[in-house]
Structure 1
Amino acid sequence: MSSDNCFHCGEINPKGDTFSVQIKGEDRRMCCPGRQAVAQTIVDSGLTSYYEHRSENAEKVTELIPEQLSQLAHYDLPQIQEDFIKQDAELSEITLTVEGITCAACAWLIEKQLRQLPGLHFINVNTTLHRVVIRWHKDKLKLSHILTEIQKVGYKAYPFQINQQEALYTQQAKAYLRRLGLAGIATMQVMMFAIALYSDFFSGMEEEFIQYFRWVSFILATPVLLYSAQPFYINAWRNIRNKTLGMDIPVSIALLGAYVASAYATIMTTGEVYFEAISMFTFLLLLGRLLELRARRKASETSSNLLRLLPSMATLIEGHGEDETESLVPAKTLTVGQIILVKAGETIPIDGIILSGSSNIEESMLTGEHLPVHKNKQGHVFAGTVNITSPLTIRIEKLAQHSLISDIIHLQNNAQQNKPRIEVITDLVSRYFVGALLIIALCTYIGWSFIDPEQAFWITLSVLVATCPCALSLATPTALTCATANLNKQGILIKQHHVLETVNKINHMVFDKTGTLTQGDFVLLKSTVYSRFSEQHCIDLASQLERVSEHPIALAFNKHQKQQQRLEEVVNIPGQGLQANYQGKVLKLGHAQFCNITDIIDSKELIIYLTYDNKLIATFELGDTLRESAQQISQFCRQKQIQTTLLTGDISAKSEDVANLLNLDNVVKGVTPEGKLTHLQKLQQSQQVLMVGDGINDAPVLAGAHVSVALASGTDIAKNSADVILLGEDLSKINTLYQTAQKTTSIIKQNLAWAIGYNIIIVPLAITGYVPPYIAVIGMSFSSLIVVSNSLRLLK
């Protein structure tokens, strides 16, 4: 594009004007302040890739609105939204980073503000990660309107992006360190004078020298109060303005009250001064906030680390034969259907299928299993995994935003969308706690005004400082965030918020057989023909029918097909079989009952029947093997005294054989998807049930179970219906899920016990005057740190 044209919209730049924005290290000219503001917003949001991938210039906007609102309106551009919004037919979903969240009251305020918007479907604020997940009807509500409403209550929000999140963390950490440094230096200086004054070192000195040191302390404490403690006032004012109670309100009252009282005593040369308490209080509060910031970052860095594994460049193969060329391109620009080359030792940039070559793939970052997996032609590979031994040619199957690694991060965020009941209760309690604290402080001041007026203010100050709901509001979300992050690292993806809470109550596990307890890698052992059709022709018919099925049985036939057959009106009936019209008559493939077979063949292996015009024309005997981890999960259930049931649509004797090998308690076989659901509902009337499955016929029962688990190798509908997805094929990960859930519940109870116990002990001591202000400061700060540190144990 010529430098005479606007880099953003392509319009001719007016002569003499110098509107420009630096994009990718180069100054790009713009035609007007409006285009300059739009481009700057795109750059500030970390979305400069928009300019790399756009197919045409942006439309020229003829109407300008105020700058702040204009910048938010840019987020409504479809080209920009592609990078950070997930969309389906009706709803749009986004994860936002929100600056300024400090406690449960902040989360409640944002949720309350947005829930009144027409078109909003769902909102959840994560106080641990400082993120907001929002779903809305795109035809009724604009993203810019949502961002504007968040700004109205005093918070800044923008689309969550890893690089921007890191920059925000660095910015916040530096700001805290600057404020902390000033407060620390001032505290040391003021404490020297305070110790001397309290120790009567100046008892023989004239009054004007004592007053001199008070004035020096006053001067040193002032910048601490005005600059270092500024975040507490901003949050307190935001809460007051929006008529809600937050933990920074009593903190701000305590700081300003102590400062005003000490300043009055200094100016009027009467009474006590507590400038050292103001400086120390601010210093310890800031130190606590900084340590909490680092703890939150540690808890949320799993998703950041996953995205860092993706390479920025990829080797694109274009052309064929002698015209074939290789070129390095940004991985983000790759599209479905393109072909790339991944050399040995390189990281695979995007999800795809191997066209040529075979190699060992390191998939530990997805599954938590460190042994390489051997992949051959037509094998699926995933972004972020490492090609170890040989070069691979890969056809791209999914865009970057729809890759498995993106889905993992999306599921990780979704797991924290709806709050468990215990978290809702603690958030509510912490909000009311602030109101109760202010009432207690007022009553303390009134009471001590009659007992000892000189001590009334300082004892009230100690009550305000010592008691804080911060630890209470952090007790549950930090533990849940850390547990979810740890499970994700081990290849266990939690989709629903209630999983960790419900798994503890499980006393019955129900398993599907094929593809769950068994490998699902069927082999055609024997074919028997009962008609004029040849054996190969029957196999070809069965293979053609199975083409519409995602069941593992389909692969057993597809390997042996030699000639395609013309079938019409093919129908897949989950849990039963398939049927179609062939040469004007009905062709069926499936169980004996589905095919109306009365003479059932007795076999320990799976028998599939093929009928044509209601006559048996062939049977197929299929073999399958148990998963290695099936014995481990069965043994785990026996150790924990959890009942087990095999619930399968297979009517063969193979079902009893599997149940006996695994020592399962019950076998229910030959049931339809509806029958599975009915049986599950009967169990759930008296027991807490966990269901494990992988197929289309398992979808209803997975959706209906108290907790459901699907394997990543299962069908898409099964994974969509399940509460938990296991990456890899290791069923023993259910043991890990169970143990982590128990540990998480234990740590949440410990956190709540500490937070409640601390306040029960400290409040009476503070009210009765046994807790001086500096002890109150230390106790309140370390109470929150103990809760966060205890939760971080779940990351190990």
Structure 2
Amino acid sequence: MQLLDCFHCGEPVLTGSQFTTLIDNKEQCMCCPGCQAVSAAIIDAGLTNYYKYRTEPGSKQNAIVPEELSTFSAFDLPEVQQDFVYQNSETSSVSLSIDGITCAACAWLIEHKLKNLAGIVNIQVNTTTERALVTWLPEQLKLSDILNNISAIGYQAAPYQVDEQEVLSKKNSRKFLLRLGLAGFATMQVMMFALALYAGYFTDLEVEYRDYFRWVSLIFAAPVVFYSAQPFYFSAIRSMFSGRLNMDVSVSIAILGAYIASCIATINGNGEVYFESVSMFTFFLLLGRYFEQNARQKASVSSSNLHKLVPLTAHLYKDSGVEEVPAKGLVVGDIILVKPGEVVAADGHIVYGSSCFNEAMLTGEQKPVNKTTTAEVYAGTINVEQPVRVQVTAIGQDQLVSEIIRLQESASNNKPKVALYVDNISNYFTWTILTVAALTYIVWKIYWPEDAFWVTLSVLVATCPCALALATPTAVTCATGIFTRIGVIARKPGVFEKLPLIDHVVFDKTGTLTCGNLELESVTITGTIPEKEALSIAAALEESSLHPIAKAFEPYRRHDMEVLQCQSHIGKGVSGSIGNIEYRLGSAKFVGLSSQEQQTVYLSDSRSVIAQFVLVDAIRSDASQTVKALALSGSKVSIASGDTSTHVDEVAQRVGISDVNKGLSPEGKLTLIRQYQQTSNVAMFGDGINDAPVLAGANLSIAMGSGAAITKSSADIILLGDQLSRYTDAVNVAKLTEKIIKQNLYWALGYNLFIIPLAVTGHVLPYVAALGMSASSLIVVGNSLRLLKVRL
């Protein structure tokens, strides 16, 4: 009899069918209770796709027994985490989708709950996308512990994965539509009975008919109160357990209070009933939440779209030929074939062939980019012309597209200062409304007791600060989506606040105003060594350098030439020993000369200069246009360059910059920036790597980006692609975002200040209050969505 292999780990099954797990409606045999428990946990966690797309068996789980396995332990398995956890040198990061987030108070509760856990490095919750970005120390904390702690306060969290999230969103939408439809149907029925009751006031309705209509209304309103309105109750309970009141507290009190009071009046046979008001404002509240939910999903689809651009399959070179395999099964070092019209399945570099690639999904630039051998290509970009062979250098969460998504999510989760103020105001606002409602009830009960209850209901519902809580996060999420679309990556908090304030822009030269693709124009030998050897020495010295100059010498690198004691001298050059001879490569001053020729790098040994290399670097096509646009907007423009040559003056003249500062060390640049900061808010353009000190010292720092720059740069903003004009686009988006946030806040605060006196004085009926509150929230969300229509 042939032994079966364990479906989870692949080991032989010696126990027959004793241990099984139902996977895709089929019982699969497991070799031990540990594998059975882990596989069951994987299925229970909704990770069935793990078994569909895995390329290797899971690890054997002898040590794990079912009772030791928590609900979320499957997420701790390395083979499962590789799909959604990004591993850094010391930390791990994950994007979590969280079910149950309704307002800023929910985000506050989750953030403060997790911040108290040992091992949490950072936690940011976005109420618009209903996702959280969590960074933690895996040596101190497990992912399952994080998920369990979120679950303990009433929210359901799971790693964000596009396919599963779409399924979950559709499921939640169907459930929400059921609640909404039930509330709508019940409202129509209750309103018919309410009309009969109102008519009875004028035609002396008999008591038995009046009671009949009340009892039937009670029955029809019950599912609305106990099913349709459930989301409001759960949200309110969670906030109260956290010691903080959110906007759903007042709504819940209004719904339950009105229904219970109406039930008492129905049972006792006297007093007013409010079944139609309860049903109607629950329906309006749910309708508002439904439209709001759809709008928020529309505001947060950009990162999902980026995920979807990466193909599911790739053409892998094997001994037997080219074979189509799942893209998730690729490993670093694999060689894949990318045909014309196909999407690149993983980050890598071209090892054979050349072609053009459309990188619009990364940079926002539709013009294809020429790529030849050794050039980097990225997952999600499109091969336009010729077939190429690509060696995989990064997969999964290490790919550029994943890094962009993480940065985008981090940017949309970052809260401007005004959002933090609003969060605090919302909490106090809810307490204020409850106090006002209590005082309103007391006053009306004393003077006009028959109207006290419905007036209080109107106060509770009409003044719910939903719009106030949505004013900022929806706008920031929309703006972040635009940034991603145009190829702008915001790495740090405060970008949207800083951009509109900048009135002085300082450019480095190489790699910013110029393309940074330095090429060797000529070589002059002043020593005794051959030209070829001089180039090889220069290439060896530049091998470990991150400066754009290093790329000009890459073609001349010899692998048999080893550099000892290689050292980078920031702003000057590099030095090192080759064959017991110490060499220097850099500026004229660095090698001991007094004058610097245009765009020239010098190579010297311990005795004298032995070669000089003249480099050329093209000016960016839109540099002059960008400088002109900045000047027209009122910004001052300067150059701060470490280059001492006349090339700096030539570039400045061609792009239209009169304030030129050259030959500056990083310390000199920082001093200059601080001098400018005495009268201005300064933005600094640099290469993001060598200019770290001056970038950190500026009010805002910007770098022109590449795949490497995104992860290595210390800049606040990275402009993907080659267009400087994206900076002015980003400024325009930030100014419009600031304007829309202010409009939202003015509207939200103005509406509440307007409606409170009307509600307190009895001029707003409960269902009108619900309609007004919902409309207020929709206006704020709709106003924020205008950002998505911006075309740059």
The answer, yes or no, to whether TM exceeds 0.5 is: yes
Give the CA deviation at 1:266.
Answer: 2.1
Give the CA deviation at 1:199.
Answer: 4.2
Is the contact made by 2:688 and 2:715 (CA closer than 8 Å) also made in structure 1?
no
Closer, same or farther in 2 for the Cα pair 1:2/1:502, shift >3 Å?
farther
> Is 1:21 paired with 2:29?
no
- For 1:514 and 1:595, the matched residues in 2 are separated by 21
Q: Which amino acid aligns with 1:123?
A: I
Corresponding residue for residue 58 of structure 1:
60
Corresponding residue for residue 540 of structure 2:
544
Q: Which amino acid aligns with 1:507?
A: D
- For 2:736 and 2:39, the matched residues in 1 are separated by 49
> Is 1:367 paired with 2:360?
no
Corresponding residue for residue 706 of structure 2:
713
After superposition, where does 1:585-596 map in structure 2 within 5 Å? 585-596=581-592
Q: Which moved more, 1:578-587 or 1:401-410?
A: 578-587
- For 2:17 and 2:305, the matched residues in 1 are separated by 47
Matched residue SS, 1:128: coil
- For 1:679 and 1:714, the matched residues in 2 are separated by 30
Matched residue SS, 2:609: strand
Corresponding residue for residue 671 of structure 1:
664
Corresponding residue for residue 353 of structure 1:
349
Is the contact made by 1:522 and 1:556 (CA closer than 8 Å) also made in structure 2?
yes
Matched residue SS, 2:94: strand
Corresponding residue for residue 116 of structure 1:
116
Gaps spanning 5+ residues in structure 1: where?
none
Give the CA deviation at 1:34.
Answer: 6.0
Is the contact made by 1:609 and 1:618 (CA closer than 8 Å) also made in structure 2?
yes
Is the contact made by 1:474 and 1:787 (CA closer than 8 Å) also made in structure 2?
yes
- For 2:196 and 2:704, the matched residues in 1 are separated by 69
- For 1:464 and 1:485, the matched residues in 2 are separated by 35
Corresponding residue for residue 703 of structure 1:
696
Q: Which amino acid aligns with 2:154?
A: G
CA deviations on 1:112-145 (whole Å, 9 max, x unpaired) are 2222222222222111111122222222222222
CA deviations on 1:218-250 (whole Å, 9 max, x unpaired) are 221111111111111222222223332121111
Give the CA deviation at 1:709.
Answer: 1.2
What is the aligned counterpart of 2:649 among 651, 656, 664? 656
Give the CA deviation at 1:434.
Answer: 0.9
Q: Which amino acid aligns with 1:450?
A: I
After superposition, where does 1:196-211 map in structure 2 within 5 Å? 196-200=196-200, 203=203, 205-211=205-211
Corresponding residue for residue 142 of structure 2:
142
After superposition, where does 1:73-222 map in structure 2 within 5 Å? 73-200=73-200, 203=203, 205-222=205-222
Give the CA deviation at 1:105.
Answer: 1.2
Matched residue SS, 2:430: helix
Gaps spanning 5+ residues in structure 2: where?
none
Is the contact made by 2:21 and 2:27 (CA closer than 8 Å) also made in structure 1?
yes
CA deviations on 1:344-382 (whole Å, 9 max, x unpaired) are 111111111112222221211111111222222222211
What is the aligned counterpart of 1:338 among 334, 339, 344? 334
Matched residue SS, 2:473: helix
- For 2:33 and 2:273, the matched residues in 1 are separated by 53
- For 2:300 and 2:164, the matched residues in 1 are separated by 14
Residues matched between the structures, number: 786
Corresponding residue for residue 617 of structure 2:
624
Matched residue SS, 2:589: coil
Closer, same or farther in 2 for the Cα pair 1:424/1:695, shift >3 Å?
closer
- For 1:16 and 1:489, the matched residues in 2 are separated by 53
Q: TM-score, normalising length from structure 2?
A: 0.95
Report the aligned-residue RMSD. Answer: 2.3
Q: Which amino acid aligns with 1:159?
A: P
> Is 1:326 paired with 2:344?
no
Is the contact made by 2:21 and 2:40 (CA closer than 8 Å) also made in structure 1?
no
Q: Which moved more, 1:730-739 or 1:419-428?
A: 419-428
Q: Which moved more, 1:56-65 or 1:417-426?
A: 56-65
Is the contact made by 1:347 and 1:384 (CA closer than 8 Å) also made in structure 2?
yes
Q: Which moved more, 1:41-50 or 1:152-161?
A: 41-50
Corresponding residue for residue 686 of structure 1:
679
Corresponding residue for residue 237 of structure 1:
237
Give the CA deviation at 1:284.
Answer: 0.9
- For 1:753 and 1:198, the matched residues in 2 are separated by 39
Q: Which amino acid aligns with 2:539?
A: S
Is the contact made by 2:352 and 2:373 (CA closer than 8 Å) also made in structure 1?
yes
> Is 1:760 paired with 2:762?
no
Is the contact made by 1:694 and 1:719 (CA closer than 8 Å) also made in structure 2?
no
Q: Which amino acid aligns with 2:293?
A: L
Is the contact made by 2:360 and 2:366 (CA closer than 8 Å) also made in structure 1?
yes
Q: Which amino acid aligns with 1:197?
A: L
CA deviations on 1:625-650 (whole Å, 9 max, x unpaired) are 21001112101111111111111110
Closer, same or farther in 2 for the Cα pair 1:388/1:45, shift >3 Å?
farther
Q: Which amino acid aligns with 1:21?
A: L
Q: TM-score, normalising length from structure 1?
A: 0.94
- For 1:773 and 1:32, the matched residues in 2 are separated by 61
Matched residue SS, 1:521: coil
| % identical equivalent positions | 47
Give the CA deviation at 1:197.
Answer: 3.1
- For 2:12 and 2:639, the matched residues in 1 are separated by 68
Give the CA deviation at 1:252.
Answer: 1.0
CA deviations on 1:481-513 (whole Å, 9 max, x unpaired) are 110011101111111120011111101111110
Matched residue SS, 2:613: strand
Corresponding residue for residue 467 of structure 2:
471
- For 1:32 and 1:249, the matched residues in 2 are separated by 49
Matched residue SS, 2:663: coil
CA deviations on 1:732-786 (whole Å, 9 max, x unpaired) are 0001100000000000000100110000010111011111111101011111111
- For 1:501 and 1:100, the matched residues in 2 are separated by 29
Q: Which amino acid aligns with 2:238?
A: R
Give the CA deviation at 1:395.
Answer: 0.9
- For 2:354 and 2:280, the matched residues in 1 are separated by 64
- For 2:190 and 2:582, the matched residues in 1 are separated by 94
